Amino acid sequence: MAEPRKIRMTVNGQAREGWAEPRRLLADFLREDLGLTGTHIGCEHGICGACTVLLNGEAARSCLMLAVQADGAELMTIEGLARGGVLHPLQEAFWEHHGLQCGFCTPGMLMAAYDFLRVNPDPTEEEIREALSAVLCRCTGYQGIVRAVKAAADRMRSAP
């Protein structure tokens, strides 16, 4: 039963499949088997959050899941955030407010922020900081990121 098995999932709206040993981490499966290298690996023990993806609509660490566990699941990765070439308001806000420098934590940061704004569309700065503490960034001091999430929340609330 340690043999590779077929795994099917929907990623960013597309049906995808591949083969993986049970021990293969979801993060590796996404990156290496499906070629979705936008999801980054930063610690492989669930603290840095760079590998955060949306699993059935909710943010989760892809380094703490086996690919086989996502068989049948619906995933969204950073590659699926912009639709039809149009940036999501979070992406726009990160760009506008210099919410990224090296960009390595950015995919996880955006996925976590996306989930957070769905459960809390009108957060205070303190709530934003608490939510973003799920993802570590070493470049920005979080200053631009916090501003960006606030701005995106404001914009998303006022959007029809």
Contacting other proteins within 4-23 (CB under 8 A):
21-23
Q: Closer to other proteins at the Cβ: 4 or 17?
A: 4
Q: Report the distance separating Cα 54 and Cα 67, nearest Å.
A: 14
Tell which one of 101, 154, 155, 156 touches other proteins (CB under 8 A). 101
Q: Closer to other proteins at the Cβ: 10 or 101?
A: 101
Tell which one of 7, 29, 94, 153 touches other proteins (CB under 8 A). 94
Please list the alpha-helical segments (H only) found in 36-88.
none
Bin 5: left if φ > 0, else alpha if -120 < ψ < 50, else beta: beta
Q: Report the distance separating Cα 32 and Cα 15, nearest Å.
A: 17
Torsion over CA: 9, 45, 20, 78 (sign) = positive
Residues 23-52 that bind other proteins (CB under 8 A): 23-25, 28, 31, 36-50, 52
Closest Cα to residue 79, out of 11, 156, 149? 11
Tell which one of 18, 66, 150, 155 touches other proteins (CB under 8 A). 66
Least distance in Å: CB of 153 to other proteins?
15
